[in-house]
Structure 1
């Protein structure tokens, strides 16, 4: 009887905790418009508090076809996630904005890398990290097309450097 109750409780806890594992967005984005930036989630073994998302756009290069590692690129924007959009089983959609500056000839009609970084706090220990994902989108006349999703985590930053006094 105790095992059954414990197993049910453990299963319930697993199903109510989640973490972000990627991003998804329309394949074509139009400057100076809003678009749905979907945060893809999965069930996880511990609670994750997602605090905020920051995202930016950059041109791919031959050396860095998925954008410069650990960088959001230019035109960075952000949104608060907080408790309502955190540790949620089921994807979360943020209303994001494409910067008007992407209407220039440098970007218009070209593929750009959209990078998103999520500031999160993991578990009872409060392990802090920033986790990033990339997708390649086209800058066009209208936002739409099939959604493109990140394939894997692009980068993670959570190193600790002690301060020497």
Structure 2
């Protein structure tokens, strides 16, 4: 009986550790040519989600089309499996900042993208496409997010989100 209680407790803790990407946030105003932080927003979730990769794009508001990125401004591998595996699939312990798992994490993820220098001032749509694997069967999904921003004279500290 004690063994079952231990398994139930461990299972409930595991469930709390599941997370997924639910949106993006971007500076409200950006300056053409600047490097800016794109925030990938995460939340607790009921099942395992392995977010594999994300790509960001930008388009003038007048020509932005749902589900497209237009001009790609960055793409990033998130996981799973960024840590090298040893025999029998176990992770090797490696102290390397470039191999930190960014998939299925509760903390927001920040990636740096460069705004194209040739963009004229105006209203733009920043889009992101996220490729993810859901659940024990690793069902594939491609989810799109977008946020409307302004290209202006300076990059702001205020962020706008896709939610």
Same fold (TM over 0.5): yes
Asked if the contact 2:73/2:113 (under 8 Å) is kept, the reply is no
* Range with bigger deviation, 3-12 or 15-24: 3-12
State the Cα distance separating 1:145 from its structure 2 match: 3.4
Asked if the contact 2:55/2:72 (under 8 Å) is kept, the reply is no
> Which residue does 1:98 correspond to in 2?
115
State the Cα distance separating 1:60 from its structure 2 match: 1.9
State the Cα distance separating 1:28 from its structure 2 match: 0.9
> Which residue does 1:128 correspond to in 2?
140
Which structure 2 residues correspond to residues 10-159 of structure 1 after superposition, within 5 A? 10-61=11-62, 67-82=64-79, 83=82, 84-102=101-119, 107-108=120-121, 110-151=122-163
Asked if the contact 2:73/2:115 (under 8 Å) is kept, the reply is no
> Which residue does 1:161 correspond to in 2?
none
* Range with bigger deviation, 93-102 or 2-11: 2-11
Asked if the contact 2:50/2:133 (under 8 Å) is kept, the reply is yes
Q: Distance in 2 between matches of 1:79 and 1:117?
A: 11
Count of matched residue positions in the alignment of Structure 1 and Structure 2:
142
Q: Could you list the per-position Cα deviations for residues 15-37 of structure 1 after superposition, in whole angstroms to 9, with x for gaps in the alignment? A: 21100000111101112221111
Give 3-state SS (helix, strand or coil) of 1:10's partner: helix
Gaps of 5+ in 1: 152-165
State the TM-score, normalized to the length of structure 1.
0.77
State the Cα distance separating 1:94 from its structure 2 match: 1.0
State the Cα distance separating 1:2 from its structure 2 match: 6.2
Q: Could you list the per-position Cα deviations for residues 63-87 of structure 1 after superposition, in whole angstroms to 9, with x for gaps in the alignment? A: x8xx311111224531222241110
Q: Distance in 1 between matches of 2:74 and 2:37?
A: 14
Q: Could you list the per-position Cα deviations for residues 96-123 of structure 1 after superposition, in whole angstroms to 9, with x for gaps in the alignment? A: 2112231xxxx31x11110011111112
